[in-house]
Chains A and B, each alone.
Chain A
């Protein structure tokens, strides 16, 4: 059972660089989302998608882009990395387009921007 797979697990970026965090799920879930978690803090929603071709902003979308070309994949792009984007990023998915269902999280991607 792969579940929700994130890559890379660890990444160090220089300020101004761009990169893409990959997320894939094999559960045929319609709903996918990206959260960031700063040290000792809760999870904050960056972007989410209720199905292929549909994306929307969460609480903290600035500096990030997403796309959803397939049901399985939901990549998160950092356009121009800043030290404030140093965080742990979690991709999540759930069955159906509503959030009344169990959320399954990936293992996280630790990003450091220097």
Chain B
């Protein structure tokens, strides 16, 4: 079953912060985060494997709340290069299922 992402879209000014949420109705064992620029392939950001785990990639970080079956991606002090569509993916067995994506536009 596909994880649910919110919000569907967000517009930021350069330097602002944003949070993207990913939730699942099923138990989560790992959460992947990817970013896709228009017309390009998704690019790996990070994987969270344990409940409570937090990771960072530049000024993008994520948390994983196993009990709440959700993960959040934090965009801090956003840069123009952060624009794109962010996808979370949840793994069950050998299947990685992606959410519908969150479109992020960072304006100068």
Contacts and interface: CB of A to CB of B under 8 A. Distances in A.
Interface in B44-95: 44, 47, 49, 87, 89, 91, 93-95
Nearest to B34: A103
Contact of B42 (A33, A43, A50, A99): A43
Given A43-B87, A48-B94, A108-B40, 13 more contacts: A42-B98, A45-B97, A48-B95, A59-B95, A59-B97, A99-B30, A99-B96, A100-B29, A100-B47, A103-B42, A104-B44, A106-B41, A107-B40
A1 interface: no
Contact of B91 (A41, A56, A100, A106): A100
Nearest to A3: B41
A84 interface: no
Nearest to A100: B30
The 8 closest A-B CB pairs, nearest first, are A105-B41, A99-B91, A43-B98, A42-B100, A99-B96, A42-B98, A102-B44, A42-B101
20 contacts: A33-B96, A35-B98, A41-B100, A43-B42, A50-B94, A58-B95, A59-B95, A59-B97, A90-B42, A99-B30, A99-B95, A100-B29, A100-B30, A100-B47, A100-B49, A102-B47, A103-B42, A103-B89, A103-B96, A105-B41
Contacts of B87: 42-43
B2 interface: yes
A74 interface: no
